[in-house]
Structure 1
Amino acid sequence: MKHLIYTLCLVCACLGVRTYAATPSENYQLSTHILDVNLGRPASGVPIVLFRLAEDGITWNKVDAGITDPNGRIGNFLPANRTNDGIYKLKFETRDYFRKQNRESIYPFVEVVFEIRGSNHYHIPITMSANGYGTYRGN
């Protein structure tokens, strides 16, 4: 198990993926988390990719990526020291999370599209089980 964790961390470091970015910070405008409602606990180790819709209204450009921490959170998307207005989507890569628990899910991933306007903080979490999910704007 230690070897697997070490290898995962090494791969993430090589790919430039941030891992275990804990709580939202005043320095970032966007945060997210996942709560596994079937187990009643956060979903840790889930890769999440952030995309921004291009001006053509069709193309999604990758902005950032991370992996949820032990509390199921990523708190450091979009530095707050710049204008981040636009339409974004978070892609929660849930397939492997459920496979590791020997649970089948009909959702290989979940995408949540939202719009950022102004400088307020946006917290976009999901609650999910293997057969359903929900989202809302948190704080």
Structure 2
Amino acid sequence: MRKILTLFTLFALLSTIHVFSQEKQYQLSSHILDINTGYPAKDVKISLSKMNNASQWTVIDEKVTDTNGRVKDFLPQNDKSDNKGIYKLTFHTEPYFKSQDKSSFYPFIEVVFEIKDDSHYHVPITLSPYGYSTYRGN
């Protein structure tokens, strides 16, 4: 019986390692903190665009922030991916503020940045109805 439990434990451990090794990696994430309320901004649409060789924007993905105001899965990354380039995150803030019966100066916010290597990029904003700030996080 003890051998069966040990083998079962070993199988469970190996299965867990296999699951974690198959977990997808993403190069870009974002976060919105509403500094007017002190809480994350949930259910905000964020569009990701990439600049092409003709200096035109192409929307390549759209996500909605989770309950913690985060999007963790922009730009899948693996051994063969090359995500270098100039990108733009468009934070669609007007519907967020309207859902709170608040007026806002910014119907949307665009943040342009460049991915230059294979490291992780985190591009968050702090937000209020009449101001915002951004930075490169980690």
**Given the two structures, how large is their TM-score scaled by the length of structure 1?**
0.80
Secondary structure (helix, strand or coil) at the match of 2:67 reads: coil
The aligned counterpart of 1:70 is 67
User: Does the alignment pair 1:131 with 2:137?
Assistant: no
Structure 1 spans left out of the alignment, 5+ residues: 1-24
The aligned counterpart of 2:39 is 41
Alignment CA distance shift 1:70-1:77 (3 Å): same
The aligned counterpart of 2:100 is 101
When Rg is computed on C-alpha atoms for both structures, the one with the higher figure is 2
Higher-helix-fraction structure: 2
Q: 1:30 aligns with which of 22, 28, 32?
A: 28
**Residue type of the alignment partner of 1:73:** R
CA offsets 1:63-121 (integer angstroms, 9 cap, x no match): 10100000000000001111000000000000010001011001000000000011000
Secondary structure (helix, strand or coil) at the match of 1:99 reads: helix
CA offsets 1:46-72 (integer angstroms, 9 cap, x no match): 000000001112x10011010000000
The aligned counterpart of 1:7 is none
**Given the two structures, how large is their TM-score scaled by the length of structure 2?**
0.81
* 1:26 shift after superposition: 6.6
Secondary structure (helix, strand or coil) at the match of 2:49 reads: strand
Aligned residues: 114
* 1:34 shift after superposition: 0.2
